Amino acid sequence: MAGGSLLALLDDIASILDDVGVLTKAAAAKTSGVLGDDLALNAQQVAGVASRRELPVVWAVARGSFLNKAILVPSALAISATIPWAVIPLLMIGGLYLCFEGAEKLIHRFFPHAPSHDSGQAAAAVFSGNMEKDKIKGAVRTDFILSAEIVAITLGMVAGAPFAAQCMVLCAIAVLMTVGVYGLVAGIVKLDDLGIFLSTVKGPGSPVLAILGNGIVAAAPILMKVLSVLGTAAMFLVGGGILTHGIPAMHHGLEQFAHLLHGVPVAGGVLKALVPALLSAVFGVLAGSVVVGALKIVRRLRPN
């Protein structure tokens, strides 16, 4: 009798683990788009750090990301079980914050002398000698929003599964995404060091390695600039996408528009995928600019 109960228990566990594996794979595929945005944003956030401090900064942000997910996973499960209607509004607040940060970066880039929240923070960081800490805090804040979207997407994928399976899938995705993103970020920020190492290797094949190393050294700054642009664009793509998804009329309008584009004879499928995302990003730019403008008005009215 006891043996039969044990076998039944093991069979149940195996069935749950099998379901968890399938759901984890599906959730990873569903969140892969956010993973790309997360990678671009975090590589951008740690750019500009002294070479000897790059890996410690990446590790500090990774620890913050693990802490974010340790807060988000149980919170998401609790909110989903008690007040599921609050998930979308909370995500929209996070999306609006991403658009706000992105708008400030654009303003600071095109109007470098214009006062902005970012430039004020940077000046304070230089003055106090805490720029690295501020950079880490900013990266962890941004990671929180992206992690929240990853958790929300995953939760939507496993909503019909047993509670134990939901917990395991969310934990698996949280660990896989964090290790994957920050492992790649660490590799990207150390590309120049890899290039220098290859260019100084002596022995058979050293000329080929030197050419490869010099190519990596030359390409690394270009890659970081590209990632900086992609990181800012990702803020609007993710933030704007969250906002438009949370407004039913706009979300349905974009879906209908995308359906019409699918009938275009040339590259209809590509347009169906790209145009709604670009329109969401434009909406994100507008929303973020409105928040920046509103904050400037508030600061003028309340200078203290």
Which is it for the CA torsion 231, 232, 235, 240, positive or negative?
A: negative
Is the predicted pLDDT of residue 119 greater than 70, yes or no?
no
Tens of pLDDT along 79-90?
888 887 887 888
- For residue 59, give the nearest of 126, 132, 146 by alpha carbon: 132
Could you say which DSSP state residue 130 is in? -
Residue 142 lies in a domain: yes
Number of domains in the chain: 1
AA letter at 35: L
Cα 189 → chain centroid: 17
Q: Please give the residue range of the domain that contains residue 196.
A: 13-301
First to last CA, the chain: 75
Which range has the top average pLDDT, 52-56, 92-96, 122-126, 127-131?
A: 92-96
Degrees, nearest 5: CA angle 228-234-236: 120
For the segment 273-278, the average pLDDT, to the nearest whole number, is 78
Q: Percent of the chain having pLDDT more than 70?
A: 71
* Tens-place pLDDT, residues 5-28: 444 444 444 444 455 555 565 555
Mean pLDDT estimate for the chain: 75
Instruction: Give burial (CB, 10 Å; 0-12/13-18/19+) of 113.
Output: exposed
Note whether residue 2 is domain-resident: no
Distance CA 55, CA 237 (A): 28
Amino acid of residue 176? L
According to the model, what pLDDT value does residue 71 have?
Answer: 92
| Higher per-residue confidence, 48 vs 117 | 48
**7 within domain boundaries:** no
In a domain, 4, yes or no: no
Name the pLDDT band for 35 (thresholds 50, 70, 90).
low
Q: What is the pLDDT of residue 66?
A: 92
Would you place residue 114 in the very low, low, confident or very high pLDDT band (cuts 50, 70, 90)? very low
pLDDT mean over 60-70: 90
| Residue 1 is assigned to a structural domain of this protein | no
The count of other CB atoms within 10 Å of the CB of residue 189 is 22
How many CB atoms are closer than 10 A to CB 299? 12
Among all chains, which residue has been given the structure tokens 């600061």? 299
The reply to whether 3 falls in a domain is: no
**Does the pLDDT of residue 118 top 70, yes or no?**
no
